[in-house]
Amino acid sequence: MQFQADANKIKRWREERHWSQEHLADLAGIGLRTVQRIERGDKASGESLKALAAAFNVDVMALTLDAKTEAEALIRQKQAKVTAGMRLAFFIHMGSYLFGMLLFAGISLGIGGKHYVMLWPTIWWTVGFAAHALTVAIVELTYRYEREVGTGR
């Protein structure tokens, strides 16, 4: 049976001990090519992982990837990308809103008269902008709450 080893951890532990791949292979009693494949991220046999765990003097589970932890990390990365995209869209909207309000004020001043001619477009664009801001805030708060509950803080 093949297992997914935590290649980054194995490489980091080997380098922290100032071991070469050859030295680790000798300590574990496995082939150099096996160590190289595992550090590259390929799957490893149970026997290879047991040998590496014995060389590092740790439990075998310390060398394997936890599927749940990996899935949670991927979800956090996706949420971070979505949040960054929403923030960017909001700032673009804010810039165009400010430019639009200056334009509306200029049109109203240019036309003259007693009334603000662009009143209704200003009101409805402001409503849309406020709705966009509220949506971004709700999503941000939801993701923050999920992170805090998920980590148990």
Closest CA to 56 of 8, 17, 4, 6: 17
DSSP for residue 6: -
What pLDDT is recorded for position 152? 55
Which carries the bigger pLDDT value, residue 40 or residue 66? 40
Q: Is the model more confident about 19 or about 43?
A: 19
Look at residue 125 in the predicted model and tell me its pLDDT: 97
pLDDT-above-70 percentage for the chain: 96
Q: Tens digit of pLDDT for each residue in 105-150?
A: 999 988 877 888 999 999 999 999 999 999 999 999 998 888 888 6
Give the predicted TM-score (pTM) of the model.
Answer: 0.58
Q: Is 35 exposed, middle or buried (0-12, 13-18, 19+ CB in 10 A)?
A: buried
Distance, in Å, from the CA atom of 60 to the CA atom of 22, rounded to the nearest integer, reads 20
Question: Is the pLDDT assigned to residue 1 strictly greater than 70?
Answer: no
Of 42-46, 69-73, 123-127, highest mean pLDDT? 123-127
CB 69 within 8 A of CB 87: no
User: How far are the Cα atoms of 75, 125, 127, 142, 143 from residue 138, in angstroms, in the given order?
Assistant: 18, 20, 16, 6, 9
CA distance 80 to 65: 22
24-33, 61-70, 117-126, 139-148: which has the minimum mean pLDDT? 61-70
User: What percentage of the chain has pLDDT greater than the value 90?
Assistant: 59
